[in-house]
Amino acid sequence: MATKIKTVWYCTSCGNESAKWMGRCPACGEWNTMVEEPKAPKAAKAAGSGGAASRSRAYIDASDARPTRLGEIDLSHDNRFSVGIGELDRVLGGGMVEGSMILIGGEPGIGKSTLSLQIPLCCKDLKTLYVSGEESPKQIKLRADRLGGSHDDCFILSETVLENILEQAREVQPALLIVDSIQTIYSEALDSSAGSVSQVRECASALLRFAKETGTPVILIGHITKDGTIAGPKVLEHIVDVVLQFEGDTKGSYRILRSIKNRFGSTDELAVFEMTGTGLREVRNPSEILIPMHQDDLSGIAIAAMMDGTRPFLIEIQALVSTAAYGTPQRSATGFDGRRLNMLLAVLEKRAGFKLAAKDVFLNIAGGLRVSDPACDLAIVASILSSNFDLYISPKVCFAAEVGLSGEIRPVSQVERRIAEAEKLGFEEIYISSFNKESSFAKRKKTADGGITVTPVADIAALCRRLFQ
């Protein structure tokens, strides 16, 4: 008689284990996240890292078994190294840390595998083991040839069994281990299929122990769900040291690599890449590319000086206002929150007296980017009014301010950095809130040698008088 396989219920959000199904996870409070999987053997549980004890053992070395005074810890040895891609080094906090674990997530076709393969191709002296559970070695070789690089110390392994991967990694002894992707790897100690909660947790924990014990950095490629979150249990993001998210429209050419979690640096940094026929190209000054060239007399176009983390951007905002031809007016926003667009239109209708209720309004952020900085509000309002009046705004003018519900123009943070970026790119005037501190822009008056004029405005009416009178 066949023995009955025992099953348990796992939460796909936090990895909590339950003996029965529950609509709401008792640990994290998420609804409808419990999935049924075969129960892991005790031997696998002991080897796994689900608990904090096993994770702590991964960090402990025989020489560090005793407590050490905080002041006695030696930091003279710099355990970072460059990966050969300047933008990636900056997002990582100055380079890759030995023994760290990095998770890169993003939509299919966004460039995760391309970026991972470019690292060993750009860093010739970095011995790398590239493990792929999705592609054959010939496919990876074809991509490497397309990227235009070759590396004699880059080893390719097409494998999905965790135990075989770790055995080959200990034999090759690479300086960098890349796993593409973690959802395709499975351990023979578990009965569940690859990509399940228990498999992802067990495989990630085993790779973490390998990274900490050998000092080898590990890069994991992760799939994402339809909601945009990284597939698998939430414990995966807790285990790793760095979480990088690839963003952007796969139909466009620009990609943003954003740091969501970083134990070795700031999470305010981001990198911009351009997808080309030869791989991802670093965009060192995104503002010059995100402001495309066009005729100077086009209405409905305004430039916003926004911040993403600590990096200033100048992006082009396009608006089109036309009479509604099918009864109900349309409201469409690409790259911007549609609800915030409706709020700004309501402010223009109620506080400024512009009759836009019977008109279609379409908004687009050039370059295929998605923005959430409130400092874009003033540029969006200016572009909508420009299209409504059919009057163009000078391409040498940009905007950086938030619009409140009362129609007032509110100040934004780091306005000095926005002004400096606009001045560096040759803009002649920037509109900001009059409630910004005078010290932040008092010295930025236009001079004969090509400075920038800072124009403070208090409300939308003042903006219209300055732009369209």
Task: Answer whether residue 259 shows pLDDT above 50.
Answer: yes
Residue 289 has a pLDDT of: 75
Give which of 78, 87, 12, 415 is closest to 259, Cα–Cα. Answer: 87
pLDDT digits (tens, 9 = 90+) for 185-201: 999 988 888 888 888 98
What is the reported pLDDT for 369? 80
- 453: tokens are 């004029």
DSSP β-bridge partners for residue 270: 258
Q: Are strands 96-97 and 80-81 parallel, antiparallel or unpaired?
A: antiparallel
According to the model, what pLDDT value does residue 320 have?
Answer: 95
Is residue 420 over pLDDT 80? Answer: yes
Task: Return the structure tokens found at 176.
Answer: 């960098």
pLDDT of residue 165: 96
- Give me the pLDDT at residue 294, please: 67
- Find the mean pLDDT for residues 235-257: 85
pLDDT given at position 340: 96
* Band of pLDDT at residue 156, cut at 50, 70 and 90: very high
Q: How far is CA 41 from CA 38, 54, 191, in A?
A: 9, 16, 8
Which strands, in side-by-side order, build the sheet including 359-365?
A: 331-334, 359-365, 311-323, 301-308, 397-399, 429-433, 453-457
Tokens encoding 371? 């923005």
Q: What is the pLDDT of residues 324-371, one digit of tens each?
A: 877 788 999 999 999 999 999 999 999 888 988 889 999 999 877 888
The per-residue pLDDT for 77 is: 65
How many contiguous H segments (helices) and E segments (strands) does the chain have? 13, 23
C-alpha to C-alpha distance for 219 and 303, rounded to whole angstroms: 37
Residue 62 reports pLDDT greater than 50: no
| Burial (0-12, 13-18, 19+ Cβ within 10 Å), 343 | middle
Of the candidates 209, 235, 240, 237, the residue with the CA atom closest to the CA atom of residue 17? 235
> What per-residue confidence (pLDDT) applies to 309?
77
Residue-wise pLDDT tens digits, 24-43 = 888 888 888 888 877 665 54
Averaged pLDDT for residues 274-290:
86
Q: Residue 146 contacts by C-beta under 8 Å, 6 or more apart in sequence?
A: 277, 278, 279
Q: Which of 188, 189, 179 is nearest to 159 (CA)?
A: 179
pLDDT score at 196: 84
pLDDT of residue 56: 38
Return the bridge partners of 469, or none.
none
Would you state the pLDDT for residue 388? Answer: 93
Distance (Å, rounded) from C-alpha 432 to C-alpha 463? 10
**pLDDT the model gives residue 171:** 95
Q: 102-112: per-residue pLDDT in tens? A: 999 988 889 99
Confidence of residue 448 (pLDDT cuts 50, 70, 90): very low
